[in-house]
Amino acid sequence: MRAQLFTAAGRPLAAAELPEPRPGPQQVLIAVRACAVCRTDLHVVDGELPDPKLPLVPGHEIIGSVVGKGESVDRFAIGDRVGVPWLGWTCGICEYCRKGHENLCDRARFTGYQIDGGYAELTVADQRYCFAIDPRYSDVEAAPLMCAGLIGYRTLRMAGDAPLIGIYGFGAAAHIVAQVARHQGRRLFAFTRPGDLGAQDFARSLGAEWAGGSDHLPPEPLDAALIFAPVGALVPAALAATKKGGIVVCGGIHMSDIPSFPYCILWEERILRSVANLSRRDAEEFLALAPVAGIRTETVTYPLGSANDALADLRNGALRGAAVLIP
């Protein structure tokens, strides 16, 4: 099968011909129809995340068809359409798994990081971490739901019932979260790279009342801020834009260092927190909500062989919505 292979940090992905993967007892063999490109994939290829599997097939926003299965698979049949997210396996017995925080599992394994992912014609995935996809979505439309959607949804959930949300970084996750927030009746402000008028227009088209550069304060203070751009300097910016008792949630897996800041922007009971990974409960909730809420995804498609171009466009902020690879 054809795949795009990560071999060393800082090197472009290489086209490779790999043997067809064989499903283990709990795994399905999936013909990949679409795989979205996540910023985490960039962190992997840049060597910003420790100890990836090597060589590795990246990609953890997979939509495909079940074409084979192991002897214990009972949740899916041949021909079923499934989505595969970042969370690939958890132990079920560590203190975090037992407390219902499987996203923090001590021994969790992640798709496209410790497990080969979807930048390929075929992949295998544990059936217990695969999800049915609503027929209202095409393969390409559904792919960004699997991480931008799921982790974006978890990030929004951490903002509690905040009525006025600010989103920093208006990429793939933000464009989905904005629609969920509007569906929930929340108000929305969007912060982009200074001068990125295209992204500000895009944010307004998705319901942002106000959109401006991240170097600006919003017209009124936020109840909560969600940071999706991997830029540590946005943390003090967001704290300064958030009202007393407000919450700042960092939605990404990696960020540049956070500059020091005066205590007064955290004081008055502002909360600063991160989000790590996702739980299966997040996936079930969000994948049920998305079609009902009318969540649409904006995508730019690339052939599998152009994965490096998709990563470069994501890095350069040249995308409106999400990049999706088609094998």
What residues make contact with Zn ion under the rule CB under 5 A? 38, 40, 90-91, 94, 97, 105, 147
90 vs 200, which CB is nearer to Zn ion?
90
The pair of three-digit structure tokens given for residue 56, joined into one six-digit string: 């590795």
Helix, strand, coil distribution of the chain in percent, nearest 5: 30, 30, 45
204 vs 301, which CB is nearer to Zn ion?
301
Can you point out the beta strands (E) in 120-198?
122-126, 131-132, 164-168, 187-192
Closest distance to Zn ion from the beta carbon of 230 (Å)? 12
26 vs 40, which CB is nearer to Zn ion?
40
DSSP 87: E
Please give the backbone phi and psi of residue 286, each rounded to the nearest 5 degrees, phi first: -70, -40
Closest distance to Zn ion from the beta carbon of 148 (Å)? 7
Q: Shortest CA distance to 214 belongs to which of 200, 234, 199?
A: 234
Angle at 65 between CA 59 and CA 66, to 5 degrees: 105
Answer for the pair 119, 35: CB distance below 8 angstroms, yes or no.
yes
211 vs 250, which CB is nearer to Zn ion?
250
What angle separates helix 280-292 from helix 148-157, to the nearest 10 degrees?
100
40 vs 127, which CB is nearer to Zn ion?
40
Closest distance to Zn ion from the beta carbon of 85 (Å)? 8
Closest distance to Zn ion from the beta carbon of 41 (Å)? 7
Backbone CA torsion sign across 112, 116, 121, 126: negative
Closest distance to Zn ion from the beta carbon of 265 (Å)? 29
Closest distance to Zn ion from the beta carbon of 242 (Å)? 25
173 vs 237, which CB is nearer to Zn ion?
173
